Structure 1
Amino acid sequence: MDTPVVFVCSEKDFPKLERNIPQYQAYISGAITVIGKASLRQPCQRAGLAFIDEDALYPSLTYKAVEHILRMRAGDVSRTGWYFQQFLKMAFAFTCTEPYYLLWDADTIPLHRYEATERPVFDTKTEHHQAYFDTIQRLFPELRKEHDYSYISEHMLINSKIMREIVEQIEALQSVEGTSFFEKILYSVEPEELGKSGFSEYETYGTYTAHYYPQLYGQRDWTSLREENDWCNADVLSPRLKGWLAQRFDAVSFDSWRAVNRHKQKFMLRLSYFYGHDDALRLYVLYVRDRMEFLRQVGAKRFLKIVLFPWLLKE
């Protein structure tokens, strides 16, 4: 079984994806397919990647179609791309000729080999966002959150048949406005949630599959380092630092949509002055995740010097 590895990628994020291809190929088996704007076709071909035009993947599913509904229902189109990418991941099930396909977020770099097991698994985390489940219940009234973990883990192994089943069941709903699955999903999200985060394809697929196919997937914990675009990007992760991160995390993510925190950046600059780049990043992770261990390694006197360091306190 040659499971395709699918990235939904914007023009802005493609250079980052392209730089990280060696990392993906080293840790994930399967040919890479990129879904994106038509302008990415040639860059993908040059990089040896399969390409699918996002506007040709599924009937009536386009960026403008999603934007139109968001404008009508919420007056806020800022999350158009976020919803559109999720719908593209679902729609790929109708193109995929393999039993499974692996979705992988383009802003996430694996730190360990992603091993295919005889039984597929859900890699799970601990977050919870109630609006996702409110939408799920409007689409599938019989579904509830059945576990204390989340299916949102920056990647997911999808059973093509089950995803097609989900899409077809949504499109068969007579009680929800719209014709295509993406229209019905957007009309199932409360207007006040549309401009925020009102739907999750991962949470929906995981909840549906766990309910109707409870024996199909196993489950394992997944630990990733997120929100770290405040202090670095993939280009500055040296082999030494990757090795250190791999002892603690399964993956590291760089969310390009998140606002950069200037206070965190300043703190990183101070750490870099005293420790150099790699050790500064390592210590920053400890500072965020394990404050006591950070203080043990740095010491109280050095910590005060870092905090009070005058040159880098200026704007």
Structure 2
Amino acid sequence: MRRSAKSAFNRSIKIDVLIPAIEKDLSTLPYVIDSIRKQVKHPIGKIMVVSPASKRIQALCRRKNCAFIHERRVLPITKKDIHYQTKRTNRSGWLLQQLLKLAGGSLTKRRYYLVIDADTILIRPHVFLVMGKTIFYCRNWSRPAYFRTYKKLLGTKPTASRSFVAHYMLFDKSKLSRLKRKIESRHKTRWYWAIIKKTNKQSYAGFSEFETYGNFVKAHYPGHFMIRSSLNKSFSSRPSSFSRKRIIRLAQKYRSISFHKRRWYIRKRGVRK
């Protein structure tokens, strides 16, 4: 008899979790941490919050029994080294957070680590490894700039029919290391400098860590992953305004909900998206 995905996922593989954050994320971060402990059905080792120096985030980590990691422990560069300024806003911190996610393997001895955005809350049970295969949660749209940067970095076009940008992803350190080595071999520099250099700074969103890793795994490990729909819903309000009853109702249709700060800013300032 064929086992169901629920019974087939490996309960013995412990994973660590990495959440890049800044103080603007404090309105959502506690809910994100709680949702990981409730909804991720693998044993969790440690939850690491990677951030610039912040007493408020350190205090939250103590309350939530998480590890606070200063971002300088993860990468030898800072936001000031990136210089990503569009006509409307500075995106250097946005790109740095993606690089921190890709560098997060240095913080754990485990083979797998889960990365999740600090504004995304899981509202349904999640598994990320089934029968030795990684589960990627995908959506149906992406940004062309992500694919252009992928081709610049790796020399080939991405071939996935769906987008891997779902606000969270499980990384396999061995596959991720191969991706970095390939980038470094092609560009003769460290992988993060190559990404910074090849990202179009005129684009509001010129690079995606999730799109890059997901398409690399698809190209080089075609039998090592499975696809599920992300079923994510974005909101312009704050999670504190959501009742438990509303969350239960949303979970009937969605797997996760996101609270993007830019939307709060747009609504407050009256600026068009």
**TM-score of the aligned structures, taking structure 2 as reference length:** 0.84
Shift of 1:219: 0.9
Q: Per residue, is there more helix in 1 or in 2?
A: 1
- 2:183 is aligned with 1:170: yes
Is the contact between residue 114 and residue 170 of structure 2 (CA under 8 Å) also seen in structure 1?
yes
Any idea what the Cα deviations from partners look like across 1:46-75, whole Å, max 9, x if unmatched? 4310121101212x22122123xx36xx78
The equivalent of 2:137 in structure 1 is 123
Q: Per residue, is there more strand in 1 or in 2?
A: 2
Q: Distance in 2 between the 1:234 and 1:7 partners?
A: 17
Question: What SS does the corresponding residue of 2:99 show, helix, strand or coil?
Answer: helix
Shift of 1:260: 3.7
The equivalent of 2:249 in structure 1 is 244
- 2:39 is aligned with 1:22: no
| Dislocated runs of 4+, deviation >6 Å | 74-77
- Structure 1 21/191 Cα, relative in aligned 2: closer, same or farther at 3 Å? closer
- 2:140 is aligned with 1:112: no
Q: 1:211 aligns with which of 213, 219, 229?
A: 219
Paired residue total: 250
Q: Distance in 2 between the 1:237 and 1:76 partners?
A: 31
- 2:161 is aligned with 1:148: yes
- 2:143 is aligned with 1:137: no
- Structure 1 61/112 Cα, relative in aligned 2: closer, same or farther at 3 Å? same
Q: Distance in 1 between the 2:32 and 2:74 partners?
A: 25
Q: Distance in 2 between the 1:122 and 1:218 partners?
A: 6
Q: CA RMSD in A?
A: 2.2
Larger RCO, structures 1/2 (Cα 8 Å, 6+ apart): 2
**TM-score of the aligned structures, taking structure 1 as reference length:** 0.73
Shift of 1:41: 3.3
- Structure 1 19/244 Cα, relative in aligned 2: closer, same or farther at 3 Å? closer
Q: Distance in 1 between the 2:218 and 2:32 partners?
A: 32
The equivalent of 2:260 in structure 1 is 255
- Which protein has the larger Cα radius of gyration, Structure 1 or Structure 2? 1
The equivalent of 1:189 in structure 2 is 199
Amino acid at match of 1:62: T
The equivalent of 2:61 in structure 1 is 44
